[in-house]
A and B are shown apart, each in its own frame.
Chain A
Amino acid sequence: MRSLAEDLGINLHTVNKAYATLRDEGYVIMLGRRGAYVADAPANPAAGMDESALEAALTKLATEFKASGGTRHAFLAAAKRAAQDLD
């Protein structure tokens, strides 16, 4: 971890925080002395996108679509097509 901080020329604390964030989000598993390993899938199912995050993302898209001249009907139709994979 120190060699990573040295090679990038950034503070060790920044690298530590980055690793901690990746661990908290479930992307990386820390095995103490043996190092950090990339996880196969997010270990914490809540680490993914939940409903409030989804709504925030959709609000952003809706605002952008409206600014580009889109209608509610077109937005909902597109959302329905995009949601075909959800069961």
Chain B
Amino acid sequence: MSPDLISLVTSASMALITLLSGCLIAATPWLTRGREAFAVSVPETAQADPRIRRMRRAYLACTLAVSAASAVAALALWSANPLAMAAIVCAPVAAGFLLMLVFRARVMAIKRSEGWGTRSARLSTVAGAAEANAPRPLPLAWNLLYLPVVLATLALSLALYPAMPDPVPVHFDAAGVADSYMAKGWQVIAMPIAVQAFMALCLTASHWQILRSRRPSSPEHPVASAIAYGMFARAQSATLLVTGIVITVTIAIMPLAFAGVVTSDQSLVALIVIIIAAILPNLAVSLVYGQAGSRLLRRMTASSELGFDDDESWRLGLFYVNREDPSVVVPRRFGVGWAMNWGNPKSWGLVALFVAAIAVFAVLVEVLFR
């Protein structure tokens, strides 16, 4: 494959990833819980309000436009200016955030004028038999599946070691030409393993956070929402595991590329195809289930009451700060997934630990493998 074609394939893949993630952001207003609109607590019947429906469509149109423009720009700029490209990839996220803030202000104004607020707080959770009916995320033990992957990669590296040239080409530029080499030694075998192990640890930590999350329940539909959330959490934990294993397995391409069993352009194309395939299941789960399983409940009769209003705890619609709440991990308000409770010191501790672990790993890789 010619270097130009490889460049084109790489740019096209980055553009596609930008477009797909932008589409998910654009779809967010349809994925939020029925009792929330643009990060504001509202009665479920408010979702049918024509003003809010218009806002959803406007959000979709604007975010899709920004995503399409960013994808085209990524296609044009990838090889030429990686830094500019990194900024462009963030454009749909930034646009989505700013638009959410704008519409959030409008929904709050409508909420005040319509008097949708509530002074009381009616909370709900399920316990006993109903709790047993709600599915749970996959147990942490499933992450042991990473172990055979790492061991198999180690075996592969050891088997291919004699066939590797000296020095070993370890990095390829966007055109598929080797631009960095490493002397043959134990580092060449250890590097892919170290990357796999660290990635497995990070993904296990994410899985743990899903398990530790508060299990939300809408007091308007307590049991149904608890079951829907359970199904959502289970699906997300399963996709996280599958995506993680797929990506960790692809790291085995490294020793294959070192030994020349696969050419650099073959490995590049394979890598990109596999990464996109890893993104698609996550997209599918988000679109089918909705945040906290909300799309599973869309046929239920909408409630006209608002059980509780926690607008105060959500700063800028995104950041949950509540010192009273012992939860460390809570489901996101506007978006699919989970967020930290920044009012809980444990969250800060966990984030600091995570940042430190990444820093230590980066330093270790630099020191040991260069």
Smallest CB–CB gap between B89 and chain A, Å?
Answer: 34
Q: Kindly identify which residue among A7, A11, A12 contacts B214, using a CB–CB cutoff of 8 Å.
A: A7
Interface residues of chain A: helix, strand, loop or mixed (majority): helix
Which residues from B are CB-within-8-Å of A9?
A: 123, 214, 310, 322, 324-325, 327, 330
Any A CB within 8 A of the CB of B165: no
Give bound CA distance, A8 to B127, whole Å: 12
Q: How far is the CA of A7 from the CA of B131 in the complex (A)?
A: 12
**Contact in complex: B324, A6 (CB < 8 Å):** no
CB-defined contacts of A8 to chain B, threshold 8 Å: 123-125
Identify the closest chain A residue to B123 (Cβ).
A8
- Using known A-B contacts A4-B125, A4-B127, determine if residue A11 contacts B216 with beta carbons closer than 8 Å: no
- Kindly list chain B residues whose C-beta atoms are within 8 Å of the C-beta of A10: 123, 324-325
Shortest Cβ distance from residue A2 to the other chain B in the assembled complex, whole angstroms: 6
User: Is B18 in contact with chain A by the CB < 8 A criterion?
Assistant: no
Cβ contact within 8 Å between A7 and B325: no
Within 8 A of A (CB), among B114-134: 123-125, 127
- Chain B contact residue count (CB 8 A cutoff): 15
B261 CB to closest chain A CB (Å) equals: 50
Tell me how many residues of A have a C-beta within 8 Å of chain B.
11
Do B310 and A7 touch across chains, with their CB atoms under 8 A apart? no
Give the distance to chain A from B219, nearest Cβ to Cβ, in Å.
Answer: 10
**A8–B126 CA distance with the chains assembled, in angstroms:** 10
B332 within 8 A of A: no
| A75 to B27 Cα, complex, angstroms | 62
* Least distance between A28 CB and chain B CB atoms (Å): 13
Contacts of A4 in B (CB 8 A): 125, 127
Contact with A along B296-328 (1 / 0, CB 8 A): 000000000000001000000000001011110
Contact with A along B149-191 (1 / 0, CB 8 A): 0000000000000000000000000000000000000000000
Residues in B with CB closer than 8 Å to A5 are 325-326
User: Which B residues touch A11, using CB under 8 A?
Assistant: 324-326
- Give the 6 A-B CB pairs with smallest separation, nearest first: A7-B125, A6-B327, A11-B324, A8-B123, A9-B325, A6-B214
Tell me the A residues contacting B by CB distance below 8 Å.
Answer: 2-12
